[in-house]
């Protein structure tokens, strides 16, 4: 498949890297020659230096026979215009664009074959805000993701010494949980992530990922002595009133939380104050200790560091931790930081760029894989796949299934019912299956579901 990627930022880089390793012909367009050199050195792709919306540049990049155009430059208007050019001049069949400004995305009539020909609009801030809200709802979890349109939650937490899970092997888990069905899909011990088997023993200090039906989420969290409260009445402090901060503040306001939003830029703070109703907008520096004390940082239930600057976010989160805020969410864009922050005591991070990459790749893999996400610091992959009539996994009890190494089926959605798998369950045609596997085995899992990279 021929793919043209416009914009060689963090998102463009990761998508190019993934698509290139999967054997596609990728061309990357950017105005920054140095940035392109980094990409050219790192992977086997073609690079074109120039303005992404110009026809001649697109032609150079091979838009003429491209199957897919991904416009992820920093500029909304250039992304949209490039899609229009690719449509009118080069007849590129499928076009994805990143559009940050929600005002564009909210007007659906704007996009379509005869209007702005963009097939999929990706809003990184919207995605990131969704992830942040997900974390808030399960505030005691380290990580929380939604799959099957929210029907299944994948929740990460640490096994505490006094927890009833400590010292338990996974085979004994169903007895402890009673009629609540959970399934452990990932296990960390001493910094090493693995896909657990029946005789894995959970020790205090280990981290685990559980799949839980959203209906049972509250009950499960309660059974495990973990807090799971709605944000109603919570005190939440948000640092950074950019797109993400604003969206999160709006949603929190709607759910009845007491929100304090700190923004450095005076004009932006004025604008935020106009838009928000009950949230208190504070103009100031997030690292100003006096300001934070003035606003009672120590009384906050949640602290969300959502500025554009990774370092500010990390430092502000550390300060919040020091003041004893129990739940801190840190926005980290650079992947190197994302791995570092756990070691310095911050446990919940959100990476908007990586969530954008994940959702773009999810679309690219359109075939039978509906969604894909990296969990466990990027050590494991979660795939949301649909079983076809021809799939080799049908009608065999799971325990007899020849699965690739380190792979486990975490949940099955059949119609509207959620099945938490046991060894005897069989996958039927049209079931949607949540598979957790290692990066190395992704290709094998895709084979299992008979996914050919035939696109459109």
Residues at the site binding other proteins, with contacts judged by CB under 8 A = 263, 266, 269-270, 272-274, 277, 280-284, 291, 294-295
Q: Please state, in angstroms and as integers, the Cα–Cα distance from residue 2 to each residue in 21, 69, 107, 208, 455, following that order.
A: 13, 9, 30, 39, 11
Q: Which is nearer to other proteins, 263 or 431 (CB)?
A: 263
Sole residue written with tokens 């990580």: 143
Q: Identify the three-state secondary structure at position 217.
A: helix
Phi-psi region of 81 (alpha: psi -120 to 50; beta: other; left: phi over 0): alpha
Q: How far is the CB of 276 from other proteins (least distance, A)?
A: 10
26: Cα within 13 Å, side-chain hemisphere: 25
Q: Which is nearer to other proteins, 194 or 275 (CB)?
A: 275
Q: How far is the CB of 17 from other proteins (least distance, A)?
A: 42
Element housing 304 (H / E): strand 302-305
Sole residue written with tokens 């792709």: 45
Beta bridge partners of 47: 28
Q: How far is the CB of 255 from other proteins (least distance, A)?
A: 19
Q: Which is nearer to other proteins, 15 or 239 (CB)?
A: 239
Q: How far is the CB of 252 from other proteins (least distance, A)?
A: 17
Q: How far is the CB of 62 from other proteins (least distance, A)?
A: 48
Q: Identify the three-state secondary structure at position 270.
A: helix
Looking at residue 201, what DSSP letter applies? Answer: B
Q: Identify the three-state secondary structure at position 384.
A: strand
Encoded tokens for 255: 């759910």
Q: How far is the CB of 280 from other proteins (least distance, A)?
A: 5
Q: How far is the CB of 241 from other proteins (least distance, A)?
A: 10
Looking at residue 63, what DSSP letter applies? Answer: G
As a whole number of angstroms, the distance between CA 398 and CA 396 comes to 6
Q: Which is nearer to other proteins, 7 or 241 (CB)?
A: 241
Q: How far is the CB of 136 from other proteins (least distance, A)?
A: 23
Q: Which is nearer to other proteins, 146 or 295 (CB)?
A: 295
Q: Please state, in angstroms and as integers, the Cα–Cα distance from residue 303 to each residue in 117, 256, 276, 281, 298, following that order.
A: 40, 16, 18, 15, 10
Encoded tokens for 327: 């739940």
Picking from 50, 66, 58, 102, the residue whose alpha carbon sits closest to that of residue 82 is 58
Looking at residue 344, what DSSP letter applies? Answer: G
Q: How far is the CB of 383 from other proteins (least distance, A)?
A: 43
Encoded tokens for 441: 């085995």
């Amino acid at each position: 498949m021929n793919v043209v990627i416009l914009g060689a930022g963090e998102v463009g880089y990761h998508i190019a890297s993934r698509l290139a390793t999967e054997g596609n012909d990728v061309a990357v367009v950017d105005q920054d020659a140095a940035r392109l050199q980094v990409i050219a050195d790192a992977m086997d792709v073609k690079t074109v230096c120039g303005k992404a919306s110009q026809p001649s540049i697109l032609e150079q990049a091979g838009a003429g026979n491209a199957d897919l155009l991904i416009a992820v430059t920093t500029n909304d208007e250039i992304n949209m215009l490039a899609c229009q050019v690719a449509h009118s001049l080069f007849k590129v069949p499928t076009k994805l664009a990143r559009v940050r400004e929600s005002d564009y995305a909210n007007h659906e009539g704007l996009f379509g074959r005869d209007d702005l020909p963009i097939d999929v609009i990706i809003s990184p801030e919207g995605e990131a805000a969704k992830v942040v809200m997900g974390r808030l709802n399960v505030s005691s979890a380290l990580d929380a993701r939604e799959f099957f349109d929210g029907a299944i939650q994948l929740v990460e937490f640490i096994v505490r010494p006094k927890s009833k899970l400590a010292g338990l092997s996974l085979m004994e888990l169903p007895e402890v949980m009673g009629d609540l069905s959970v399934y452990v899909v990932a296990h960390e011990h001493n910094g090493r992530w693995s896909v657990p088997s029946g005789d894995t023993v959970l020790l205090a200090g280990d981290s685990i990922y559980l799949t839980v039906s959203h209906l049972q989420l509250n009950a499960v969290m309660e059974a495990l002595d973990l807090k799971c409260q709605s944000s109603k009445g919570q005190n939440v402090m948000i640092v950074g009133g950019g797109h993400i901060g604003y969206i999160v503040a709006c949603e929190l306001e709607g759910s009845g939380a007491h929100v304090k939003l700190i923004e450095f830029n005076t004009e932006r703070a004025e604008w935020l104050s106009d838009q928000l109703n009950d949230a208190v907008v504070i103009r100031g520096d997030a690292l100003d200790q006096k300001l934070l004390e003035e606003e009672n940082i120590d009384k906050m239930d949640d602290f969300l560091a959502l500025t554009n600057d990774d370092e500010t976010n990390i430092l502000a989160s550390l300060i919040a931790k020091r003041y004893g805020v129990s739940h801190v969410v840190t926005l980290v864009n650079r992947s190197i930081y994302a791995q570092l922050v756990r070691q310095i005591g911050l446990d919940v991070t959100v990476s908007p760029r990586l969530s954008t990459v994940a959702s773009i790749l999810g679309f690219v893999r359109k075939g039978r894989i509906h969604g894909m996400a990296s969990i466990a610091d990027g050590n494991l992959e979660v795939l949301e796949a649909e079983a076809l009539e021809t799939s080799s996994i049908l009608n065999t009890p799971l325990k007899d299934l020849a699965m690739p190494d380190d792979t486990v089926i975490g949940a099955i959605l059949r119609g509207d019912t959620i099945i938490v798998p046991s060894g005897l369950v069989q996958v039927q045609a049209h079931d949607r299956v949540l598979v957790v596997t290692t990066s190395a085995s992704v290709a094998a899992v895709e084979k299992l579901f008979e996914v050919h990279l035939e696109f459109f």
